Structure 1
Amino acid sequence: MEIRLATSSDAHDIHSIILDAYSEYKDIPGSSSALDETADSIQESIKLGKENALLGLVDRSVIACVRYSFKDGMYFYRLAVRRDWQGKGLAKLLLSHLESLAMVERQPKIWCKVRYSVPRNVYLYQSLGYVKSDEELVHKDDGVALEVWTMSKVFSA
């Protein structure tokens, strides 16, 4: 898999991957807010420098992405792999690249938020050395309360 930094012109690909990867959550109570984003909002955020993204490509096709910003270290979110490519280790490759970038940028830690109710995501991060550093109860507009963990990896100086 080739990994490269996204530009604002990649927003439609990013949006498409997120919709595909997060589609399994669309019919469950408290569905992900990722499904409410638009390609335009992603494009604007990248263009204004509010966030960055890495893309994973196979044979020039974008099949994975992760978005990130610098906030108390490197905060990443919307890690997504097209459903037909999941389970092949691509998320781990993308995270490895992101961690290397965090170290180059001299960030003290890398972290994300994950729903506790999606154990495969919790296990993914745990398998890569992330630990639960906080938890919170998030109340969604539809009245659903979700337990959300902050998972982080601290880099030694």
Structure 2
Amino acid sequence: MADSIEIVRIDGCFHRWGDLLALILSSFAYMDGVVDPPSSAHRLTAASLAQKACDEIAFVALEDANLVGCVFFRPEPGFLYIGKLAVSLDYQGKGIGRLLLSVAEDLAREMRLPALRLETRIELTSNHQTFGRWGFVKTAENSHAGFDRATSIEMQKRLA
């Protein structure tokens, strides 16, 4: 499956913001009623995604013309932050997430950043395990504003 997937950087020619929003919302829908506070994906709009792609570095995964995955990256001191990693429900478990993370590793090396960083919700233990299998380790627990308990964990992957 991953052989037929093309990873493309979003540039000024990209116009499928509604499709990208639908992909993110559908792939994050399993979190509804599970994570507290609710996912920030619910605050996204087509316009805010377009702005996010201008402010950050974004890639999509395509199979033919089908939008099947995406990821956003933000350089930080010492890290490349990974956000809004999403894979279409029909394509999960087929290696697309791993392909998108390999783009992260390549980009971080190009930018001379020694590690990747991401955050995942405390309740999403299967995500913790998946990222752990991909070489990420838990480095911190964090709380969203207004919460007196941990609501997310930070994970990092050092690059060789």
TM-score by length of 1: 0.86
Distance 1:151 1:18 in 2: 21
| Deviation digits for residues 94-132 of structure 1 (CA, Å, limit 9, x no counterpart) | 111221121122112111001121112111111111111
Matched residues in 2 for 1:62 and 1:118: separation? 25
Residues 1:57 and 2:98 aligned together: no
**Which residue of structure 2 lines up, in the alignment, with residue 71 of structure 1?**
76
Q: Which residue in 1 is equivalent to 2:125?
A: 119
Q: Assess if the C-alpha contact under 8 Å between 1:115 and 1:147 holds in 2.
A: yes
> 1:152: which partner in 2?
156
Runs of 5+ consecutive residues of structure 2 not aligned to the other structure: none
Contact 1:30/1:144 (<8 A) preserved: no
Q: Partners in 1 of 2:130 and 2:142 — Cα distance?
A: 20
CA contact (8 A) 1:64 1:82 kept: yes
What residue identity is the alignment partner of 1:61? N
Find runs of 4+ consecutive structure 1 residues off by over 3 angstroms: 143-146
Residue 148 to residue 27, structure 1, CA distance change in 2 (3 Å) = closer
Distance change (3 Å), C-alpha of 1:31 and 1:95: same
Q: Equivalents in 2 of 1:78, 1:19: separation in Å?
A: 10
Q: Give the Å deviation of 1:60.
A: 2.2
Runs of 5+ consecutive residues of structure 1 not aligned to the other structure: none
- Name the residue aligned to 1:39: 46
Superposed CA offset, 1:44-79 (max 9, x none):
2323xx112111111221110011111122101111
**C-alpha distance in 2 between matches for 1:110 and 1:23:** 25
The SS at the match of 1:124 is: helix
